[in-house]
Amino acid sequence: MAARETDQSVFVAPQNATQISLSFDDNRLASILFGQYGQNLALIERRLGVVANSRGNTVTIEGGRDACDQARRVLESLYDRLKRGDELVQGDVDGTIRLALSQGSLFDFDPAAARENFEEINLRKRRVRARTAAQDAYVRALKRHALVFATGPAGTGKTWLAVAHAVQLFERKEVDRIVLSRPAVEAGERLGFLPGDMREKVDPYLRPIYDALYDLMDARIVERALQTTEIEIAPLAFMRGRTLSNAAIILDEAQNTTAMQMKMLLTRLGENSRMVVTGDPSQVDLPSGQTSGLADAVRLLDGVEGIGHVSFSAADVIRHELVARIVAAYDREATKRRERRE
């Protein structure tokens, strides 16, 4: 792998600058580790404030002593992951960097060891591992509680991990079916102008759930389960009057439910069922002045035995790194507006 050119002019070596060199014994895995066109190294550079240059299976890191040590441990942790046969995507790189940053300059911190303690969801198609401390707490809550609320910004893995948990329960035959739902609230568009019947109108709103299913299960199994209704995807309004037994139930985008709708869904929980309710309280599309059922339920059910609540923040976003910055900027603006009102 050719050395990736780095703009050295933008790097100012700190007073305690040091340089370390790492070599990896498998050229193929080293190429994956560094990323296409060195994109993983570029992410490490931006996040840790170092300069990393690769040639073949060797990478040289230059920067502050603490930052270089963090970069080294991040690369070694990710390489160990590749040697175990795990896949490596940008979210994994970002999550490992977050672990290193969360420990500051503690030299006895080992991201690989910390990640080994993170909870996993083992599926037939793939193995899913929590990437951040908040995701780890979320997976643990999913395994421990019959009802879990997950709140926080987009890109934190709330829906994806909830679907993974439901798929695991389904594959282990701990539940007979999966029920996936979202409120059909119009976010600036009008459902009536979309073609087709009600199901066809609502399908675009449920696309993120479909995507998660096909990512976590074999496509043929998903299609068959949809046909036999072992996997049911329906708008929230279709849940009224039902008792959902032996099912894994997920309500996504729950911030757009009313208090009555939320109560209706929560009371559908039947024998041997598990329910996950996810949403972003900062993206409510309800009419002005109407209380979000998600916020209302989280407040009312706080501390109730058997119910878990995991709250994510902008620091937990695992999409493109810009997403976390965007979320943080909007959060700052919302805080300023609240302060002005007070």
CATH of the domain at 197: 3.40.50.300
CATH of the domain at 15: 3.30.1370.10
Q: Between helices 90-102 and 39-48, what is the axis angle to 10°?
A: 20
Same-domain status, 217 and 69: no
Domain count within the chain: 2
Tell me if 86 is assigned to some domain: yes
* Per-residue pLDDT of the chain in tens (342 residues, 90 and over written 9): 444 444 443 444 455 678 889 999 998 999 999 988 888 898 888 888 889 999 888 999 998 888 888 888 889 888 888 888 878 877 778 778 877 776 544 334 444 444 556 788 888 888 888 878 888 899 999 999 999 999 998 888 899 999 999 999 999 999 999 999 888 654 444 445 555 555 565 666 677 788 889 889 999 999 999 899 899 887 787 788 788 899 999 999 899 998 999 999 999 888 999 999 999 988 888 887 788 999 999 999 998 988 999 999 877 777 655 666 776 787 777 777 767 766
Tell me if 161 is assigned to some domain: yes
Tell me if 257 is assigned to some domain: yes
Which contacts (CB < 8 Å, 24+ apart) does range 32-38 have? 32/82, 32/88, 33/75, 33/78, 33/79, 33/82, 33/88, 34/1, 34/4, 34/59, 35/90, 35/93, 37/4, 38/4
Same-domain status, 66 and 164: no
Could you tell me the residue range of the domain that residue 56 belongs to?
8-116
Same-domain status, 183 and 224: yes
d(CA 234, CA 99): 37
Boundary residue ending a domain (60, 82, 116)? 116
Boundary residue ending a domain (54, 82, 116)? 116
Indicate the burial class of 339 (C-beta count within 10 angstroms; 0-12, 13-18, 19 or more).
Answer: exposed
Tell me if 310 is assigned to some domain: yes
Tell me if 251 is assigned to some domain: yes
Tell me if 259 is assigned to some domain: yes
